[in-house]
Amino acid sequence: MGIRSKGCRTCRRRKVKCDQTKPICKRCEVGSFVCQGYEQYSEFVNEASRFCDTSIYSTPTSSKRNQCKGGVALVHPTRSITPTLIDADRVIIYFARNIGSPNDSFKHLGWMATALQHPNTPEPLSSSVCALASVFFSNSEETALLSSWGVRNYLRALQLVQSKVQCKSHIRDEDLPLSILCLCIYEIVAPTHPGAWLNHAVGLAKIMQLNGAEQYSSGYRRQTLHALRYIVTLGYLHQKRRCFLENWSWITIPWGGEPARKPFLDSLHDIFCTLPGILSNLESHKKTQEVNIVNTSSENLCLTVVSKIEALYSWRYQWDATYAKTIRVVQQRVADWSVDNQIILPQNSIPSSLLFSNLQRAGELCLYNAVLLILLRIGHTLGIEISTLRSCHDPLLPREGSPQLIAEEIIRMAPYMRHIQHGNKGIYLLSFPLQIARDRLQGGSEMIEWVDSVLRSIHGKFGKYIVDEL
């Protein structure tokens, strides 16, 4: 067997001599390259044994070799299983370009850029990213060559996460929430069993509560807070349970107690995080209605829904004042930028689509419409009359348009967000809002069939969020 190189991965890939300085080699630092760290060689590990127990966050078996100071077993990192037919680096590079590059400023996706840029990516984050990258590569390239490699990285990451959450000295590691986030999205894209993504979302919520809002005000955790809040809120939405993220500390402390410093996306997430609690109160309201109990909680619920809708309208006015010029209405017949016939809207139902100068703006407006549709549905259930104006703007401004038109506006963003120039980023942002829009459509079989075909395509790459009865 040949001599193993001890240089860092970056220098070996560039085929230059490495000075082997740790944790980051000087050659990469001087050349402004991202040092990928050093290979960790070890003895053969029987990966098949990992399939015996895949329970979420179970207590690992103990041994003298694996004991940490807290007396709880901690599995030590071993060399990842690399695919034989496809280079692992190619898979990671593909993933970075299609989901979140280091230069990507989009807040929803900055977490992945942070993970890919992390110097000497620690475990279990390294295995989590490899597992997620492999499943995206397999789905996009329609190849199953990486399935085994991805599953083994997933199980390895799962065991390491289980070990960390059981060890007092590691449960607060800054890479742990991001590792669980990767596992959660892996289960959405390629579920191993129903509800697994929700188990990860629940575990992620517990880790965030344990750390406290103060730990997310700067540094590594602050860069990933956008994605963490989004996934955790989706988990609480599915359970219809009040979310801790709506507490005052979580909407102020991470931004230094200055709400004015918040970007538009973070302010929109503040409203989004209140939806699980409103749905929880709605369920309680329905139970009291069944037994004819009269109480003041229903009145408070109505006031809460109205106040959130007004807050949402206020957000939309501010967004329009800042970014109105970033939107352009394009007739389908002149949408020559659409290189894929599958993303052309049904012209008989919707003659025009919406184009944006920035994918981030499209993602913000898409989520805004989805949250508004949910709140309007809740308001209708409570018998609240929300006054609407005759539609006169395109896109719609607050109080304009029916739920049908709001849902159609989400659909009109689909061609732009699914365009090839955005890779999988737009699809990631479109999945949840488009499912909400689909449930609000009325009539128009051609439009519904088109949306269903788009959702089937999205679910093949990103899986399906559970949004029933929202």
Q: What is the pLDDT of residues 140-166, one digit of tens each?
A: 555 555 677 788 889 999 999 998 888
Output the pLDDT for position 106.
43
Task: Give the three-state DSSP class for 146.
Answer: coil
313 or 115, higher pLDDT: 313
Averaged pLDDT for residues 408-412 = 90
In the chain, where does the domain assigned CATH 4.10.240 lie?
1-39
What the block records as the tokens of 78 is 């071993």
Band of residue 94 on the pLDDT scale cut at 50, 70, 90: low
Nearest of 264, 266, 240, 238 to residue 253 by alpha carbon: 266
Whether the per-residue pLDDT at 23 is higher than 50: the answer is yes
Cβ pair 55, 48 in contact under 8 A: no
Q: Which carries the bigger pLDDT value, residue 320 or residue 102?
A: 320
Residue type, 147: S
pLDDT computed for residue 84 by the predictor: 42
- For residue 93, name the pLDDT band (cuts at 50, 70, 90): low
For 214-237, what is each residue's pLDDT tens digit? Answer: 989 887 778 788 889 999 999 999
The pLDDT score that the predictor gives to residue 70 is 37
In percent, the amount of the chain with pLDDT more than 70 equals 69
- What is the C-alpha end-to-end distance of the chain, expressed in Å? 59
Written as one string, the DSSP assignment of 433-449 is HHHHHHHH--S-HHHHH
- Fold classification of 1-39 (topology level): CD2-Gal4 (4.10.240)
Question: Does an H or E element contain 198, and which?
Answer: helix 196-211
More confident residue, 52 or 261: 261
pTM score over 0.85: no
The predicted structure's pLDDT at residue 250: 94
Q: In degrees rounded to 5, what are phi and psi of residue 312?
A: -65, -40
Per-residue pLDDT, 101: 44
Whole-number Cα distances in Å, 39 to 46, 80, 173: 19, 9, 22
The per-residue pLDDT for range 233-277, each reduced to its tens digit, is 999 999 999 999 999 999 989 888 665 678 899 999 999 999 999
Tell me, what's the pLDDT at 115? 58
Q: Retrieve residue 2's tokens.
A: 């040949």
Q: Is the pLDDT of residue 82 over 50?
A: no
pLDDT given at position 357: 87
Least confident of 58-67, 373-382, 454-463: 58-67
Give the residue-averaged pLDDT of 55-60.
Answer: 40
Give me the mean pLDDT over the 450-459 stretch: 79
Radius of gyration of the chain (CA): 24
Q: State both tokens at 38.
A: 């050093």
How high is the pLDDT of residue 117? Answer: 54
How far apart are alpha carbons 419 and 433 in whole angstroms?
17
Angstrom distances, CA of residue 10 to CA of 24, 26, 90, 121, 256:
10, 12, 13, 13, 37
Query: Among the listed ranges 79-83, 130-134, 143-147, 456-460, which one has the minimum average pLDDT value?
Result: 79-83
β-pair partners for 329:
354
Average pLDDT over residues 163-180: 87
Judge residue 150's burial from the number of C-beta atoms within 10 Å of its C-beta, 0-12 exposed, 13-18 middle, 19 or more buried: buried
Q: Which amino acid is at 175?
A: D
* pLDDT attached to residue 203: 93
Residue 335 has pLDDT above 50, yes or no: no
Give the pLDDT confidence score for residue 96 in this predicted structure. Answer: 63
Whether the predicted pLDDT of 445 surpasses 90: no
For residues 25-47, average pLDDT:
66
What is the pLDDT at residue 279?
Answer: 94
Residue 235: closest CA among 265, 209, 266, 261: 209
Give the least confident one: 10-19, 30-39, 109-118.
Answer: 109-118
Residue 205, pLDDT score: 95
Query: What is the rounded average pLDDT of the residues 197-210?
Result: 93
Four-residue CA torsion sign, 189, 134, 166, 52: positive
Q: Are strands 327-331 and 352-356 parallel, antiparallel or unpaired?
A: antiparallel
pLDDT in tens, 414-439: 888 877 666 667 777 888 899 999 88
d(CA 451, CA 470): 18
Rounded CA-CA distance 192/206 in Å is 22
For the segment 63-85, the average pLDDT, to the nearest whole number, is 38
The pLDDT confidence band at residue 336, using thresholds 50, 70 and 90, is very low
CB atoms within 10 A of CB 300: 12
pLDDT at position 417: 84
The answer to whether 75 and 122 are in contact (CB under 8 A) is no
Give one word for 395, left, alpha or beta, with left for phi > 0 and alpha for psi -120 to 50.
beta
How does the average pLDDT of the chain come out, rounded?
A: 76
User: What does the alpha-carbon distance between residue 162 and residue 165 come to, in Å, rounded to a whole number?
Assistant: 6
Highest mean pLDDT among 35-49, 61-75, 385-399: 385-399
Lowest mean pLDDT among 87-101, 142-156, 197-211: 87-101
